[in-house]
Amino acid sequence: MRSATPVLVIALFLAASLIGGAAAEVTFTEVPVEELHTSGLYCNMALSEDGSEAGIFWGFHVYRWNPETGLMLLADNTQTSSTASINVSGDGSTFIATIKDSMDFTDPAIWRLGEGWTHLGGIDGEPPLGTEYGTASALNGDGTMATGLGWARNDEGWLRATPFLWTEGEGMIGLPKADNNHQARGNDLSDDGQIVVGWNENDFGSWRPCRWINEIGPDFFLGEETLGVVDAISGNGVFYALAVNGAAHRYSDEDGLSPIGIYGWPYNRVYGVSNDGTVIGYDGQGALIWTEEGGLRTVADVLTEAGCTDHQGWTLFWAVDISSDGSTIIGAGTKPNGWAGVWIAQFPSPASAPDPRPLPTCRLACSPNPFSRRATVAYSLDKPASVRLAVYDLDGRMLTTLTDGKRSPGNYSVTWNGITDDGHRAASGTYFIRLITPRATATHKIQLLR
């Protein structure tokens, strides 16, 4: 049955140790979704950048919620699939989910106010695998780009799971994989759409954390032997929430891996990370929040220490997303009557604070240009970064990698002798040297004369 309980707002005070400074008012809000039994509960949630819009997959229904207009049904259980996918663009204008079309095929679809659902189809027009073209994962900041899982053919003609990147102008394309026979998925992307994070399996089917930068990858930034998956990326593209070898971590190129203290993935995991690096997730203790200053704590403990007495009888067992500005957390729990429900905790927004990690810059130059025997490629970094420096032809095919790894700030140079990775001499013509870091890129055109 659908809950008749109105939205309940409980005034609380958040401990200063969590957000810094003086204690400030927060709210704990029940979203009036249908009451469900906690056994076998299948749900998912997502928040816009400032937490003012929420997307909720609940009981095989897709909802939009905001405090002004309340709950709006976007798709019922005759339209949705079992993937429980839902995401919201950073600006709150666009929602994405996996929805059935008029032929009962499921594919990623976007919803906008006044437009309804628009189906995105599959990668490169491929037919569905069974009844599925793919599944949705995430949207970028303005809702013009999306990622998820689609299906593309390997060299033998079999459909294999492939990460997709959808753009409003160009439609859906498959992102490259380490091997065409591998399976992979895009789980999230940065607000500017430059970075997609997810996993790419190894030859034995085990997942490995990776990213794609400007459609190039996969980049196994922790090494090709490391097992795990990146679940989320902060809107500014700086922080990742991920599982590595069965344990939850936060990652940035500057800080490397920071253990969270959650173990036993996939049953215990991190699900979201804000622009300031705050991570949320869950394990047997319930809904969790981790900060560098305060470490790992349950959301319930944070609220209780701030003056709440058991949150009107709620048991908060999942924290599913955190807004990019860190002001809002959404999750699920058991209500005082024993049924499962959705909750939202809202904190004073730190959005007015400056971005703690300004964007890096990189510079690239090649000489001589044109060249006939070898060219020197010089590049510089103003911040530590994972770097890939590679040569591409006019069709965008990568011919050789000149540098691949972490570098400190400074000036560097390498040479290219016109030889490709497969040992062939590149023909006379125009090529592109591209320097890629997670938050900056540079491209230089170079001419080879034989």
**CA 294 – CA 291 distance, rounded (Å):** 5
Q: What is the amino acid identity at position 29?
A: T
Nearest to 295, CA basis, from 250, 232, 345: 250
User: What confidence score (pLDDT) does residue 359 get?
Assistant: 55
As a whole number of Å, the end-to-end CA separation of the chain is 75
Per-run averaged pLDDT (10 residues), the chain, 450 residues = 28 36 67 77 89 92 92 86 84 93 87 91 76 90 95 88 92 92 95 94 95 88 93 94 93 89 81 94 90 89 72 87 93 91 79 47 81 89 84 82 88 91 90 80 84
Angle at 175 between CA 171 and CA 180, to 5 degrees: 130
Count the neighbouring beta carbons within 10 Å of the beta carbon of residue 373: 11
CA 88 to chain centre: 12
pLDDT in the model for residue 4 = 28
The CA distance from 161 to 271, in Å, is 22
Scored b (16 or more CB within 10 A) or e, 292-302 reads eeeebbbbbeb
Looking at residue 208, the DSSP 8-state letter turns out to be -
Q: Report pLDDT for 169.
A: 84
Nearest by Cα to 48 from 80, 116, 96, 13:
96
Q: In 3D, which of 51, 43, 138, 121 has the Cα closest to residue 87? A: 138
Q: What are residue 386's DSSP bridge partners?
A: 406
Question: What backbone torsions phi and psi does residue 303 show, to the nearest 5 degrees?
Answer: -70, -40
Q: Is the pTM of this model over 0.95?
A: no
Cβ(222)–Cβ(230) under 8 Å?
Answer: no
**Percentages helix, strand, coil for the chain, rounded to the nearest 5?**
5, 55, 40
- Reference 326, options 438, 234, 230; nearest CA is 234
Torsion (CA) 276, 211, 365, 397 in degrees, nearest 10: -160
Specify the DSSP element, H or E, that contains 97.
strand 94-100
Distances (CA, A) of 180 to 152, 330, 417, 421: 9, 37, 28, 18
Residue 412, classified by CB atoms within 10 Å of its CB into exposed (0-12), middle (13-18) or buried (19+), is middle
**Distance between CA atoms of residues 345 and 314, nearest Å:** 13
Domains of the chain in start order, with CATH, are: 9-346 (2.130.10.10), 362-448 (2.60.40.4070)
Between the alpha carbon of residue 448 and those of residues 142, 374, 375, 413, 434, the distances in Å are 40, 9, 9, 19, 16
Sign for the CA dihedral angle at 139, 198, 134, 77 comes to negative
Return the pLDDT at 126. Answer: 67
Cα separation of 1 and 352, whole Å? 41
> 143-157 burial string, b = 16+ CB within 10 Å, else e?
bbbbbbbbbbeeeee
Contact 379, 412 (CB under 8 A): yes
CA distance 171 to 395: 19
- Residue 372 is encoded by which pair of tokens? 């006939």
Residues in the chain: 450
pLDDT value for 310: 59
Of the candidates 270, 273, 272, which has an alpha carbon nearest to the alpha carbon of residue 243?
Answer: 270
Distance from C-alpha of 447 to C-alpha of 450, rounded to nearest angstrom: 10
Q: Are 95 and 110 in contact (CB under 8 A)?
A: yes
Q: How many CB atoms lie within 10 A of CB 386?
A: 17
User: What tokens were used for 330?
Assistant: 């959404």
pLDDT at 287: 93
Segment holding 232, helix H or strand E: strand 228-233
Token representation of residue 165: 């990147």
List the beta bridge partners of residue 161. Answer: 151
**Secondary structure letter of residue 92 according to DSSP:** S
